[in-house]
C-alpha cells in the first residue's frame, strides 16, 4: 500500500520512519479448535502488512511476510509457465535465467503461526540447499522444497546461523539435482548487472534484473530498534537480528525472495537475497533497494555448519 501526499510529507518530517523487512512470504492458516480463533481475514491481512516491516530495522527471526490473496491457496508453477524475465539493454537475461532456474528452489515451511515461503539455492546434486536462517527459524518439523520443474522433496534443517542469516537444508532421497555455480563476491563491482531469482509472494521461478547499486552496506549501521515478527511478537535484537555487510541491488526483491540467489551475468551466484528496504510501515513491495549476503561470507558459514 503506497503513501498519499500528506503521508509522504509526514514521512519526510520524521513522522513515518523507513523500514526494512526480510523478503519471504507467510500465509496464515486456521488455528486449532482449542486455540483462540483467528481474526477475520481482512484484519489478518492488515496485521501482517504492518508487522512485516519495522521502523529503521532489519527484521530478525521468522519475519518479513508478503501478502497475496489468502483464498488463492498454495501457488503452483513450472519453469516454463511462471518465469517472469525483466531484461536490460544489450544483456541476455533470458540466458542467465535458463542456466540458473534449475538450481533455485521454493522453500515451504510450516510454523505454529502459519505457512512461510522462501527460496533456496541447490548446492549439491544430492539435495543440499542453501537458504536464509530466518526462512526456517520457526519451522515445525521438516520443510518442503520444490524444484523449478515442480518436483517436491521433504528436507531437514542441517544447521543455521541466525546472525549471518544462513541455513543449510538436506533434501531427503534427492539425486541428480542441478547445483548452482557459486561465484566470488570479492570481485563484484558497483554498476555491474545482476539477476535475482526466487518466489516473491509465492510466485515461483520469478526472474528480475538490475545492477549492483552499492557494496559493503552494513545493515547494523543503517538501522536500529526492536524488530517485530510477522505476527506482532517482538524479537530480541541482541541475539536474533541478523548482522552482516550486504550487497545492495536495485533488482526487484520482494517477500518470498529470501534465500534465493543474486547472480552475475555469467550465471554465478554472488549473493543470497535476504532483506529489502521499505520507505514506510505500510509498504510491502520493492522500491529498488534490496540486500544480499555476499556469497563468500555464505561459503564460510556453510563450511562451519557442515563441520559441526
Question: Burial level of 33, CB count in 10 A (0-12/13-18/19+)?
Answer: exposed
Q: Which position among 138, 165, 250, 264 bears the catalytic label?
A: 165
Cα dihedral 253/259/260/263 (nearest 10): 90
* Distance in angstroms (rounded) separating the CA atoms of residues 286 and 276: 7
161 is catalytic: no
Q: How does DSSP classify residue 55?
A: B
Using alpha carbons, list the distances in angstroms from residue 10 to 3, 14, 275.
10, 6, 25
3-state secondary structure of 283: coil
Q: Which position among 63, 77, 134, 241 bears the catalytic label?
A: 134
| Residue at grid coordinates 516454463 | 80
258 is catalytic: yes
| Residue at grid coordinates 530466518 | 134
3-state secondary structure of 171: strand
Grid cell, residue 241, equals 537480528
- Give backbone dihedrals phi and psi of 296, rounded to 5 degrees, phi first: -65, -35
Residue 304 near residue 167, CB atoms below 8 Å: no
Closest C-alpha among 61, 57, 185 to residue 113: 61
Q: Which position among 52, 185, 258, 280 bears the catalytic label?
A: 258
Q: Characterise 31 by phi-psi region: left (phi > 0), alpha (psi -120 to 50), beta (else).
A: beta
Using alpha carbons, list the distances in angstroms from residue 212 to 88, 100, 286, 292.
13, 18, 15, 10
- Neighbour count for residue 56 (Cβ, 10 Å): 12
22 is catalytic: no
- Positions annotated as catalytic residues are 134, 165, 258
Amino acid at each position: 500500500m503506497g503513501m498519499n501526499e500528506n503521508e509522504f510529507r509526514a514521512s519526510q518530517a520524521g513522522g513515518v520512519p523507513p523500514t526494512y523487512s526480510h523478503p519471504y512470504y507467510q500465509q496464515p492458516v486456521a488455528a486449532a479448535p482449542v486455540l483462540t480463533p483467528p481474526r477475520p481475514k481482512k484484519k489478518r491481512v492488515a496485521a501482517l502488512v504492518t508487522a512485516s516491516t519495522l521502523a529503521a530495522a532489519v527484521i530478525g527471526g521468522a519475519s518479513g511476510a508478503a501478502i497475496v490473496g489468502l483464498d488463492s491457496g498454495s501457488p503452483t508453477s513450472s519453469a516454463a509457465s511462471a518465469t517472469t524475465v525483466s531484461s536490460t539493454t544489450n544483456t541476455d537475461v533470458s540466458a542467465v535465467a535458463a542456466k540458473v532456474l534449475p538450481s533455485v528452489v521454493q522453500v515451504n515451511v510450516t510454523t505454529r503461526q502459519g505457512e512461510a515461503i522462501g527460496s533456496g539455492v541447490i548446492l549439491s546434486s544430492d539435495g543440499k540447499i542453501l537458504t536464509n536462517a530466518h526462512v526456517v527459524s520457526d519451522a515445525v518439523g521438516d520443510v518442503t522444497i520444490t524444484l523449478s520443474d515442480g518436483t517436491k522433496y521433504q528436507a531437514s534443517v542441517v544447521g543455521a546461523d541466525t546472525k549471518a542469516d544462513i541455513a543449510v537444508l538436506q533434501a531427503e532421497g534427492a539425486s541428480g539435482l542441478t547445483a548452482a555455480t557459486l561465484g566470488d563476491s570479492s570481485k563484484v563491482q558497483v554498476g555491474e548487472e545482476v539477476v535475482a531469482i526466487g518466489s516473491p509472494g509465492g510466485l515461483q521461478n520469478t526472474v528480475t534484473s538490475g545492477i549492483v547499486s552499492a557494496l559493503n552496506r552494513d545493515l547494523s549501521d543503517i538501522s536500529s530498534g526492536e524488530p517485530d515478527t510477522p505476527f506482532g511478537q517482538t524479537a530480541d535484537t541482541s541475539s536474533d537480528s541478523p548482522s552482516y555487510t550486504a550487497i545492495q541491488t536495485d533488482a526487484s526483491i520482494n517477500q518470498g525472495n529470501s534465500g534465493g540467489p543474486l547472480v552475475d551475468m555469467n550465471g554465478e551466484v554472488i549473493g543470497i537475497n535476504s532483506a529489502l528496504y521499505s520507505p514506510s510501515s505500510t509498504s510491502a513491495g520493492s522500491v529498488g533497494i534490496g540486500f544480499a549476503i555476499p556469497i563468500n561470507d555464505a561459503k564460510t558459514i556453510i563450511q562451519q555448519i557442515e563441520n559441526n
